[in-house]
A and B are shown apart, each in its own frame.
Chain A
Amino acid sequence: MNLTLLILIPLVTAVLILLAKGLQQIRVIGLAGAVVQLGIAGWLLKSFLDQRAAGNNTTYLFESNTTWFKALNIHYHIGIDGIALAMILLTSIIVVAGILVSWSMEKLSKEYFFLLVLLSMGAYGFFISLDLFTLFFFLEVAVIPKFLLIGIWGSGDKTKSAMKLALMLMAGSALVMVGLFGIYYNTHTFDMVQITQQGIPAGVQKFFFPFAFLGFGVFAALFPFHTWVPDGHASAPTAASMFLAGISMKLGGYGCLRIAALMPDAAHNYSWIIITLATIAIIYGAFATMMQTDLKYINAYSSISHCGFVILGIGMLNKTSMNGAVIQMVSHGLMTALFFAAIGMIYSRTHTRMVAQLGGLLKAMPFISTVFVIAGLCSLGLPGFSGFVAEMTVFMGSWQNPESAYRFATILSGASIVVTAVYILRATGRAIMGPISDEHALLGDATWNEKLAAVLLIAGILVIGLAPFLINHLIMPSTDAIMTQMGKVMLSK
């Protein structure tokens, strides 16, 4: 099985979309491409688990390594472990859902679907890369589509939000670039596998870790680099919001994880800073959400809080917390995409996202309201949904860290869940329950494509929520391998 397919299929889809005529052809091609990707991801999962069951314990499976720029020792080196595979599955689900909810996008539909597919290609390429150069390449490939998607199809102050997002993400990738150069000039390779084997001198780690980690942190909405998140998400069209929160922010989290694994000494040295920033993000995000009146802003700010858990899990540097971070990435991706999808469906019918102007939607659109409630419950961490599993794992991991300052951070982060419950229940209560206004009473419920998208995402949430051992089974060997490797490095010092 060649992983390059994951890049080639979006590429082919994008070209076909350019050649297609009319909305019908374009969206069918887009959906077909996305479904094929979902199929490939499913097939990858199956053969990955089969190989693992057969006793193949290499860190990365489906590896392939070709020289790209020989003179500079840059390789096109791809391969996946359980974490990358989980991310690929997440991406493929969100892309299908995103294309389904944009089914009736009539404004410049060709460009719209083209950019969505291009964005997904960047994400796939990013997750399969084992060479830091290609990783960086795909990270930046995914930035421009976001800028155009928000700026052209967005709402509100869209050009300003698009500009802000693009510049902040570019600044993030500039930091990443400096970090990667530092690694390159001290190891003479971009290859993550080789770098892990030969190690990076501690002094180099200490200097370059902040660049790389904070650079990816910008993508992951780490405090104080989170300011692009609310405006960007709120202005973006529905599918772009889903991609942004569901996929793009995960590029950051995944990047942070890989950087921490590559530079274990520095990760240990700086872990208190990482944890402090993550805790601030969690609490600040939660309280900022309380003040919001626009549904999209509510979800955007809550994303800052939720992504804080990812960084917290990485910063705690133990097996359980790392696992939690990965599950939180998947869970938050699915949940937030579902949330944005539901908000988009509500907005396209009522033409408002203000909580105060909504009410009693359950009577007019039961399906959409149910989706909204499910997303909300998942967000506040109700057992049975993925959010509970993810946050619980992060907390359990964090608590294993015996230092009292870390325990304090854990308790603070845990307390934020109460705040989450407040804003989620308040928004749900006002918008979904209660009396409905006359003009909203006549609005219709979800169409088939919206239902399909929602069901797909909810299925993902429930699988993780009800059978957490499945995803644990997938990612645990990989996080174990990372932590063992990091532990070895630390012990040998």
Chain B
Amino acid sequence: MKKLRILLADDHIVMRTGLRALLERQPNLEVVGESENGRETVALAAALRPDVVVMDVGMPVLNGIEATQTIVTQNPTVAVVILSMHADESYVMRALKSGARGYLLKDSAAADLIGAIHAISQGKSFFSPKVSRILAEDYVRVLKQKGAVDTYDLLTSREREILQLLAEGQTNKDVATALNISPYTVETHRSHILQKLNLHNSAELVLYAVRKGIIS
């Protein structure tokens, strides 16, 4: 089996050393490079063409989120997992918008990183359980405070099914194949879902799914 090639981006050498040790114990993972700032990461990603980039948010020169955006734009097949100190939705949202597929908290990296790398390398989304929990709690709390109706109830069961698949990172085509319907039908469902939930793009859709606990 082909090993997954990984690029580690973190400005702290202790962090990189720890992560490298963690990853190299896995037989099917291989750390192909390390970088210590955003710009170097972009350059290395272009040169090494890794399968997965493990990206720290706070890095000098160019921060992790902006670096992610550049890397994903240049090479959409690269899967980026963000390592962050913050379980806040602003960060998650920005990470998702920048094209990252996974969002991990540093303090749970040891437990979740391996799983996250495998998930995102298969095109799925991955969030630290703690992040999912916090986002879901916030969502419920705001709904309660506002006394608003949970828009999720407006979705049909088919739409919920499609929402989950899309949020997991699957493309319209994948969903169409999985459900044995046409990609156009999937697209129609998708736009209904966005409209009903008052969402505007895929990143918001994923965030919504995380908040609702549909994916994690």
User: Is B one of A's binding partners?
Assistant: no
B binding-site residues for A, Cβ under 8 Å: none
A residues contacting B by CB (< 8 A) are none
